[in-house]
Amino acid sequence: MSEPGHPLRRICAAVAAVLALVAVVRVMLTYSHTAQAFDEPYHVAAAIELLDRGTYTLDPLHPPLERIAIGIPLYLSGERFPKLARSESDASTTPYLCAIGNAILNDAGRYARNLKLARLGILPFFLLGCSVVFFWATEEYGDLAGVAAVALFTTLPIVLEFSGIAYTDMVAAATQAAAFWAYAKWLDTRTWRSTVWLGVATGLALSSKFTTLLYLPVALFSMTALRWWVLRLRNNRPTPAYRQTLASYGQPTDSLSGMLERACRLRPRRFPPSNIFLRLSRELPAIWCYPIPKYQRPR
């Protein structure tokens, strides 16, 4: 990875930005060709209720972050909660929610414009996802890897699809990825700054979708366990008996251990003194040569 301010760093960042902007244009061009998705009226109805009335009683199945993002463009354009006749039993029914959302979208005959405005609220989270992909890949594997990661991310059909409709999925994906990255940085450097960023990112993820309550603990536990495992192996050094064993089989004393040190920065304490292991070490090098991300490598 090049140093901050290096020309290569600036060029790679510019290329990644261009790739993200091209993807944004591609997503926006699909607005007029993509039909209204099933859940979009429900998200629109809940969003305008929250922004216009200050209540959150319609479809409170998700945290409000995504609804706020969807509702802000509509609210700023003048859309308000419609007045529709209803009974008390209709307040939480699917037909009533759908009618509210469709009434907002069809207000004043501006259906296409209002649907585009609702979908525009998802694009900032798509850009957030691009940023997390670029910076995390750059930190771990270098500037060119960051550009390649953004190129792959911005051409995934599922990413482009859910970035082009007013759904919760892209919001949850971007904020959860940001929380994972913030935790990785916190594991690497535990400072007040990294702690604040971890809190902010985790709060955004929890405000995006309730599935975060399932995914986040599992992911953070896995990252912590893997770091502990790497640290434990890293602290195990080869013994003189292990080097003598390699030499007794006609192997250079630092061939296998040197390969492990250069590829993975890991050196197990000792290996079984058998020809079977030596053969497996040649035939299955991927077991030992899998690259370890930087945040899992002790300083």
Domain limits of the chain? 1-167, 240-296
pTM: 0.77
How high is the pLDDT of residue 274? Answer: 42
Q: How many other CB atoms sit within 10 Å of the CB of residue 98?
A: 17
Q: What is the pLDDT of residues 111-134, one digit of tens each?
A: 999 999 999 999 999 999 999 999
Q: Which amino acid is at 164?
A: G
Query: Which range, of 38-42, 170-174, 291-295, averages the lowest pLDDT?
Result: 291-295
- For the chain, where are the alpha helices, taking DSSP H only? 7-29, 40-48, 65-76, 94-105, 111-120, 123-141, 143-153, 157-163, 169-188, 192-206, 212-234, 240-248, 255-264, 275-283, 286-289
pLDDT of 265 reads 42
Question: Distance between CA 255 and CA 274 in Å, rounded?
Answer: 16
Q: What is the pLDDT of residue 230?
A: 78
Q: Which two tokens stand for residue 188?
A: 């690497």
pLDDT digits (tens, 9 = 90+) for 261-285: 444 443 344 344 444 444 444 444 4
pLDDT for position 83: 82
Per-residue DSSP letter, 292? P
What is the rounded CA–CA span in Å between residue 50 and residue 65? 11
Question: Which of 11-15, 98-102, 219-223, 256-260 has the weakest average pLDDT?
Answer: 256-260
Please write the tens of the pLDDT for every residue from 212-263.
Answer: 999 999 999 999 998 888 777 766 655 565 555 545 544 444 444 454 444 4
* Distance, CA of 43 to CA of 47 (rounded, Å): 6
Encode pLDDT of 141-199 as tens digits.
999 999 999 999 999 999 999 999 999 999 999 999 999 999 999 998 889 999 999 99
pLDDT at 240: 60
| pLDDT for residue 199 | 96
- The count of other CB atoms within 10 Å of the CB of residue 52 is 16
Q: Region 284-292: what's the mean pLDDT?
A: 43
Cβ-based neighbours of 62, under 8 Å, separated by 6 or more: 168, 208, 209, 210
DSSP H stretches of helix in 106-211: 111-120, 123-141, 143-153, 157-163, 169-188, 192-206
| Distance in angstroms (rounded) separating the CA atoms of residues 241 and 168 | 58
CA torsion 267-268-274-279 (nearest 10°) is -50
Q: How far is CA 77 from CA 48, 107, 113, 115, in A?
A: 12, 11, 10, 12
DSSP-assigned letter for residue 293: P
More confident residue, 46 or 260: 46
- pLDDT at site 5: 61
Q: How far is CA 7 from CA 1, 11, 20, 148, in A?
A: 12, 6, 20, 18
Task: Say how many residues make up the chain.
Answer: 299
Burial class of residue 255 in the structure, from the number of CB atoms within 10 Å of its CB (0-12 exposed, 13-18 middle, 19+ buried): exposed
From CA 96, how far away is CA 102, in angstroms rounded? 10
Given pLDDT bands bounded at 50, 70 and 90, which one contains residue 289?
very low
pLDDT confidence band for 59 (50 / 70 / 90): confident
With tokens 């064993």, the residue in question is 245
Write the DSSP symbol of residue 51.
I
| Amino acid letter, 228 | W
